[in-house]
Structure 1
C-alpha cells in the first residue's frame, strides 16, 4: 500500500523554508540575543572584581532588596486575587460578569505612566485622599507603600487572566463530585481545584514576578526616585547611567537580564511538564 503524502502548502519549497528560518534566526540574534549579550559583556568588561564591587554599592544593594521585597509582597497578593477572580468568573453566573473581566484586564490597556499618575492624583499631597492622609500622619507617595501599591495594580491581571482562561476549559465535574461526597468548600479547593489549576497558577505567578521586578514606568512616578531609599533596580540602572557610571549601570542591568533569563527557563519548564505537554505525550 502506497504511503499517503502530506499535501504541500503553497510556497512550501526548500529555499522558502531556509529563507524564513534564516531570517528568523538573524532577527533573533540582532534584536534579542545581541542586546542581552552586550549587557553581560559591558558588565564584566572591567573584570569580576569591578563587577561585584559595583553590585556591592549600598544604593544598588538597597535597590535589589527593595525590588525583591516588592515582588515578595505583590506576587502572593495577586495569586490570592487571581484565584478568587477566576473562581467567581468561571464557577458562578451573575450580572456584570463581562464587566468584571474587563475591569480585571484594565491594567493591560493603561500605560504604566498613566497608572502612576492616577495614584499620584489619589494619594499625593494635592490628590483626592492626600489631605486626609496628611491629617492622620499617613504617607504613601514617594515611599515603599506607593511602589507596592502601583506594582499591585500593573501586575494584577497576570494570574487572574491565566486562571480564567484555563478554568473555562475545565468542567466542574470533579468539584461537584467532591461536594456530593460531603467535602466542604475548603476541602474541595485544596484537594480538587488547586491540584487541577496548579500549572496555570504557577505560570501566572512567574509572569507576575517578572513584571513586578522589571516594572519601571509606574514606579518611577510614585517612588520619587530617592537615591538609596525608593529606587528599585530598574530605576537604579537609569540613575547610574545618568551619573555616567556605565559599569555600575550594566552590572545592575545584568541582574535584571539574569532574572529575565531564569524566568524564560522556568516558563519553558512549566510548558514542558505542564498539562499541555502531558496531553501531547498521551
Structure 2
C-alpha cells in the first residue's frame, strides 16, 4: 500500500511560530557568528595572515587539530565497540552503563578537567605521581588535553550508531554466522557497511565538538604559550589582552571548521536518504 502523506493547512499561528523560530536562531546563532566573520575581515586578510605568521599561534592550531583527531579516533573505536555491546548483548548494569555514557553531556567541562587533575595530577593525584616517576606526564601536557577532549565528545558516536544497530537487527549477521563467517568477518562485511553512515555522522560531530572544547582543556593544559595552549585558549588570551582582531581570526577559523562539519553531515544525510526514497 502506498504511503499517504497528509498535509495540514498552515494557520496564522504556524507562520507566527516559524517567524519566532527564525528570529530566535538569527539572534542566537546566525548574527553572532556573522559578526565574528565581519570583524575578522574588517582589515582584509591581515588578521588571518597575522595568525599564521605567529609560530605560537600555528602551534596552538596544530595542537588543537592533533588533539581533536586523536580524540575522534579514540571515540570512534570506543563508540562502535560500546554500541555493539549495548545493542547486541544483555548484561547486568546495562541501563546504568547507558546512562553513564551521557554523563559528559550532563556535567560541566570544568568539572571534567578538575576530575582528571585529581586522578592524573602530579601532586596528589591517584596515578599522577606513579606515571610521572615512569616518565609519562598527563596533566599540563598533550595526553591530558587529548583525554579531556575525548571525554567531552564521548557520547556522540554512540548516540548515532545505537539507533541504527537496533533498526537493522541481527538477521544478516546470523545468516553470515550460519555460513561460517567468524566475528571479525561478520563485522567488516555485514555490520560495518550497515552502520557506516551513522559512524560518519558521529565522527564528524565528534571532530567538530573536539575542536571547540575549552573548559576541560583549560584546566588540564596549564595554558603554556607555545607548549600546551590550544586555539580556544588562544582566543581567550588574545581577547583579554585586547587583541580582538587576533581573537576574531582564530574564532573564525574554528567556527569555519565546525560549519564545514555540519555541511558535510547534511550532505551525507541527504545522499544516504536518496536510495531509500528511490526504493519507496
TM-score higher than 0.5 here? yes
Please give the residue correspondences for 1:125-144 in structure 2 after superposition, counting only pairs within 5 Å: 125-144=123-142
The aligned counterpart of 2:165 is 167
The aligned counterpart of 2:196 is 198
Q: TM-score, normalised by structure 2?
A: 0.92
For the residues of structure 1 that align with 2:176 and 2:84, how far apart are their CA atoms? 16
C-alpha root-mean-square deviation of aligned residues, in Å? 2.0
Contact 2:47–2:249 at 8 Å: present in 1 too?
no
- The one of 145, 148, 152 equivalent to 1:147 is 145
The aligned counterpart of 1:244 is 242
Once the 2 structures are TM-superposed, how far is the Cα of residue 277 of structure 1 from its aligned partner? 4.9
Once the 2 structures are TM-superposed, how far is the Cα of residue 6 of structure 1 from its aligned partner? 6.0
Please give the residue correspondences for 1:77-156 in structure 2 after superposition, counting only pairs within 5 Å: 77-124=74-121, 125-156=123-154
Please give the residue correspondences for 1:153-232 in structure 2 after superposition, counting only pairs within 5 Å: 153-232=151-230
Consecutive unaligned residues of structure 1, counting only runs of 5 or more, are: none
Contact 2:213–2:232 at 8 Å: present in 1 too?
yes
Query: Bigger CA drift: 162-171 or 60-69?
Result: 162-171
The aligned counterpart of 2:40 is 43
Query: Bigger CA drift: 95-104 or 60-69?
Result: 95-104
Consecutive unaligned residues of structure 2, counting only runs of 5 or more, are: none
The aligned counterpart of 2:67 is 70
Contact 1:55–1:248 at 8 Å: present in 2 too?
no
Query: Bigger CA drift: 91-100 or 247-256?
Result: 91-100
Matched, 1:30 2:27: yes
Q: 1:101 to 1:277 in 2, by over 3 A?
A: farther
Once the 2 structures are TM-superposed, how far is the Cα of residue 252 of structure 1 from its aligned partner? 0.5
Contact 1:55–1:251 at 8 Å: present in 2 too?
no
> What are the superposed Cα offsets for residues 43-82 of structure 1, whole Å, 9 maximum, x if unpaired?
1112223431233211211111001101221111111111
Contact 1:54–1:247 at 8 Å: present in 2 too?
no
For the residues of structure 1 that align with 2:257 and 2:85, how far apart are their CA atoms? 33
Contact 1:159–1:205 at 8 Å: present in 2 too?
yes
For the residues of structure 2 that align with 1:39 and 1:20, how far apart are their CA atoms? 28
> What are the superposed Cα offsets for residues 229-279 of structure 1, whole Å, 9 maximum, x if unpaired?
1111111111111111111110101101101110110111122122x4543
